[in-house]
Each structure stands twice: as C-alpha cells, then as structure tokens.
C-alpha cells in the first residue's frame, strides 16, 4: 500500500468556514482491484456549492462527512490501470478532488474528449461552470438574440461564460461584479455595461445601465441583485436562478422590495442544476468548443499552487479573490 494526502472535513462550519474546518491527512491507497484505476490529480476545482455540502442538511447532493475526504471536480492522469477502459497516460475528469491521488472504478472517471484544449478548461469553460452557464442561459432562461441580459458575479467562472455566450448569440449584456478591475474585465469580455455593486445600490445602477429594462436575469448572487432584477424586468422576463452566494454563509433573510413585479411583468423564474442537462452535453461541447476555437469565448483562471492551498482557495471565493475560474494546480 502507498500513501497520499487528502483534505478532510474536520468540523462543520457555522457561517463563513475557516481553516479549522479542514485537515490535510495522509491516507493509504489500497492496491488496485479488477476494473479500477489510480489517477494522479493535476488540477482541483473549488466551487461555492461545496459550502452547502459542509452543512448536515438534506439537499441534491449528500453532505460531506466529518473525518472523510472532501470531494470535488478534478482533472488528472491515469498512472495505473487494471481496467480495459482506461490506459496509463489518459487524461480524465472526475469528482474525487481535494486529494493528490484518486483510486476508484474506471466508470467514475471520464476520459477528456480530444479537443486540444488545456487540461484545466475541463473544470472551467468546458466543464461544470461552462455547462451551467450554457444550459442556464439558453435552456432555462431561453435567452435569444436581441434580449437584454443581466448577469451577477459576471467576473466569476459561470458569470464570465454567461457574458461571452450571450454576446456570441447577439444579446445585449449587463454584468455585475465587485470592484473596478473586475468590471473592466467584464467589459473586455464584451459586456455592453458593467455594474460595480460595491460602489452603490444595484437597483439604481441597473436602472441606469438598462433604461429599457431586462429580458433575462442570470442569478449567481441572490439578495439585492435579484431584487434589482425584479425592479427592472420587462414583460415576460425570464430569470434563471443558478446560485445565491450572498446567502451561502448566512442563510437567507433578505426582504424583497420589488418581488411583486413578478405579477405585472409576468416574470418566469426557474431554479436549475447543471446536471439536469447531462444528456445534452454533446450540444454543449459542439457550441462551446466552436466558440473557444474561434476566440469568441476566452478562458481565465485564478490559480493557486499545491494541495496545501485548496481550503484557502475555496474560502477566497467568498471574498471574490478570483477572476474567472478558481483552481488549484498540483
Ligand atoms: P465564481 O467564480 O463566480 O466565484 C464566486 C464569486 O461570487 C466571487 O468571485 C465573488 O465575485 C462573488 N461573490 C462572493 N460573495 C458575494 C456576495 N456576498 N455578494 C455578491 N457577490 C459575491 O463561482 P462559480 O462561477 O463557480 O459559481 C457562481 C454561482 O453559480 C454560485 O452561486 C454557485 O453556487 C452557482 N453554481 C450553480 C450551479 C448549478 O448547477 N445551479 C453549478 C455551478 C455553480 P465579486 O468579487 O464580483 O463579488
């Protein structure tokens, strides 16, 4: 047996997690059984939804267990295989992140499609966050050419993909992000306007940026952003509710001032999970692959180095330290 290091949940956080909730421990790797593989992880993803899995509550994914290794998206190379389906040297993505090496049945690892993109993009624009942007915008909100789209956390992984997909499809885009540097990047990505939500009330800034109102809101934040979208929605507006990061550490206690506009404007609002659309991934790979190849969608990562950096990279999502996708490189 050989050893490897993995981050474990040491205790359940209350409010914003801190380093005491995590523990890096050596774990023994069993010798490979029939049909299993050993993968050396190269890239780990940290994602806001992992905060929800740290609570002991029933949700769409089971909670992380105290004392067990954390899980999350990862890309790695097969270094040992006893399966006919995967060979040593194959690059795979899977969900046994937060650790240096992963061992499991080959069916839990997916060989990356041969598209000639850097490996880390399978955790970003060609991975979970890109697919979330694509399906949320085009299938859930049914956004189409000519629509005016508002997206929050627009300088993050999902948000920056939403901005670029919407522009590729001929929409007008208003993005919101925290700070002037992020807003400048959102404009660089093609957004027609960018709102710095830290510089003043979102509702006032959105009314100025979208004097004709909005047709689509892609929500990554909740709270004041969602309220501003209610205030500015045009008739038959569609809201894709992707995430509400503002409340992940606090629980929701927001009072919506403008929610009644749902009635007069006939707003349709729908929550979604990216895996509702897994059967349509070929459409996503075709379109996103094409936009990446043509330069219409660009990828940006904020990269932290080494397994030790993983918890802080995760915590930093809640203070907005990332531009584009937050990743850990091993
Ligand atoms: P991001 O890369 O967008 O990182 C999170 C960003 O959220 C930060 O960079 C920060 O940007 C912003 N943020 C953090 N706290 C606040 C706050 N209190 N108010 C406003 N903004 C805040 O993460 P992802 O792209 O991975 O995820 C974006 C959203 O999408 C999350 O809500 C996530 O849970 C959700 N999601 C949902 C999925 C689904 O299937 N429904 C799948 C994947 C993600 P800034 O500096 O601009 O504040």
Q: Which 3-state string (H, E, C) describes the chain?
A: CEEEEEEEECCCCCCCCCHHHEEEEEEEECCCCCCEEEEEEEEEECCCCHHHHCCCCCCCCCCCCECCECCECEEEEEEEECCCCCCCCCEEEECECCECEEEEEHHHCEECCCCCCCHHHHHCCCCHHHHHHHHHHHHHCCCCCCCEEEECCCCEHHHHHHHHHHHHCCCEEEEEECCHHHHHHHHHCCCCEEEECCCCCHHHHHHHHCCCCEEEEEECCCHHHHHHHHHHEEEEEEEEECCCHHHCCCCCCCCCCCCCHHHHCCCEEEECCHHHHHHHHHHHHHHHHHHHHHCCCCCCEEEEECHHHHHHHHHHHHHCCCCEEEEEEC
282 within 8 A of 104, measured Cβ to Cβ? no
pLDDT of 50 above 80? yes
Q: Which residue minimizes the CA distance to atom 35 of ligand 1?
A: 243
- Section 274-291 average pLDDT: 96
pLDDT computed for residue 184 by the predictor: 98
The residue whose CA is least distant from atom 19 of ligand 1 is 246
Q: What is the predicted pLDDT for the residue at 253?
A: 76
289 by Cβ neighbours in 10 Å (0-12 / 13-18 / 19+) ranks as middle
Residue 158 CA: which ligand 1 atom is closest? 25
Mean pLDDT of 175-180: 98
Across the range 167-171, mean pLDDT stands at 98
**Cβ 31 vs Cβ 1: under 8 Å:** yes
Q: What is the pTM of this model?
A: 0.97
Contacts of 26 by beta carbon, 8 Å cutoff, 6+ apart: 3, 4, 5
The CATH number for 2-124+300-329, chosen from 1.10.357.10, 3.40.50.2300, 3.40.50.80, 3.90.180.10, is 3.90.180.10
Fold type of domain 128-275: Rossmann fold (3.40.50)
- Over residues 206-217, the pLDDT tens digits come to 999 999 999 999
pLDDT reported for residue 146: 98
Give residue limits of the domains in the chain.
Answer: 2-124+300-329, 128-275
pLDDT score of 1: 59
For residue 264, pLDDT over 70 is answered with yes
Please give the angle made by the CA atoms of 233, 167 and 313, to the nearest 5 degrees.
90
Ligand 1 atom with least separation from CA of 324: 2
Mean pLDDT of 111-130: 95
Judge contact between 92 and 114, C-beta under 8 A.
no
Q: How far apart are CA 317 and CA 260, in angstroms?
A: 32
Lining ligand 1 with CB less than 6 A are 47-49, 128-129, 132, 153, 155-159, 177-178, 182, 220-221, 242-243, 245-246, 272-274, 317-318, 320, 322, 326
pLDDT at 251: 78
Q: Minimum mean pLDDT among 81-95, 155-169, 250-264, 268-282: which range?
A: 250-264
Ligand 1, atom nearest to 272 Cα: 41
Burial class (CB in 10 A: 0-12, 13-18, 19+), 139: middle
Identify the pLDDT of residue 229.
Answer: 98
- How confident is the model over 136-155, as a mean pLDDT? 98
- pLDDT at position 252 over 80: no
Report whether pLDDT(198) > 80. Answer: yes
Rounded-to-integer distance, Cα 5 and Cα 280, Å:
35
Given a cut of 80, whether residue 285 has pLDDT beyond it is yes
pLDDT band at 222 (very low <50, low <70, confident <90, very high): very high
Mutate-to-test residue for ligand 1 from 198, 243, 281, 301, highest number of ligand atoms within 8 A of CB? 243
**Per-residue model confidence as pLDDT tens digits over 55-64:** 999 888 899 9
Helices 157-168 and 180-188: angle between axes, nearest 10 degrees? 30
> According to the model, what pLDDT value does residue 114 have?
87
CB count within 10 Å of CB 76 equals 27
Indicate which atom in ligand 1 lies nearest the CA of residue 49. Answer: 34
């Amino acid at each position: 047996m050989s050893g490897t290091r993995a981050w474990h949940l040491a205790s359940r956080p209350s409010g914003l997690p801190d380093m005491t909730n995590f523990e890096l421990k050596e774990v023994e790797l069993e010798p490979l059984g029939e049909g299993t593989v050993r993968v050396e992880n190269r890239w780990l993803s940290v994602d806001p939804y992992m905060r929800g899995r740290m609570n002991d509550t029933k949700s769409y994914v089971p909670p992380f267990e105290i004392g067990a290794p954390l899980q999350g998206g990862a890309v790695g190379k097969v270094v040992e295989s006893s399966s006919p389906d995967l060979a040593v040297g194959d690059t795979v993505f899977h969900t046994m992140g937060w650790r240096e090496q992963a061992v499991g049945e080959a069916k839990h690892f997916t060989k990356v499609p041969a598209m000639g993109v850097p490996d880390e993009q399978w955790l970003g624009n060609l991975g979970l966050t890109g697919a979330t942007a694509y399906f949320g915008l085009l299938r859930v909100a049914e956004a189409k050419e000519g629509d005016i789209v508002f997206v929050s956390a627009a300088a993050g992984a999902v948000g920056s993909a939403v901005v670029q997909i919407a522009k590729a499809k001929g929409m007008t885009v208003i993005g919101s992000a925290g700070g002037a540097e992020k807003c400048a990047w959102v404009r660089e990505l093609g957004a027609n306007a960018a709102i710095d939500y830290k510089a003043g009330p979102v509702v006032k800034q959105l009314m100025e940026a979208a004097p004709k109102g909005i047709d689509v809101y892609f929500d990554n934040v909740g709270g004041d952003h969602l309220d501003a979208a209610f205030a500015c929605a045009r008739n038959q507006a569609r809201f894709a509710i992707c995430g509400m990061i503002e409340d992940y550490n606090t629980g929701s206690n927001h009072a919506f001032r403008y929610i009644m506009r749902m009635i007069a404007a006939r707003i349709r609002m729908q929550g979604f999970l990216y895996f509702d659309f897994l059967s349509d991934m070929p459409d996503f790979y075709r379109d996103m692959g094409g936009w990446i190849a043509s330069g219409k969608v660009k990828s940006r990562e904020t990269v932290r180095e080494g397994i030790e950096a993983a918890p802080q990279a995760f915590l930093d999502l809640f203070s907005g330290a990332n531009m584009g996708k937050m990743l850990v490189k091993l």
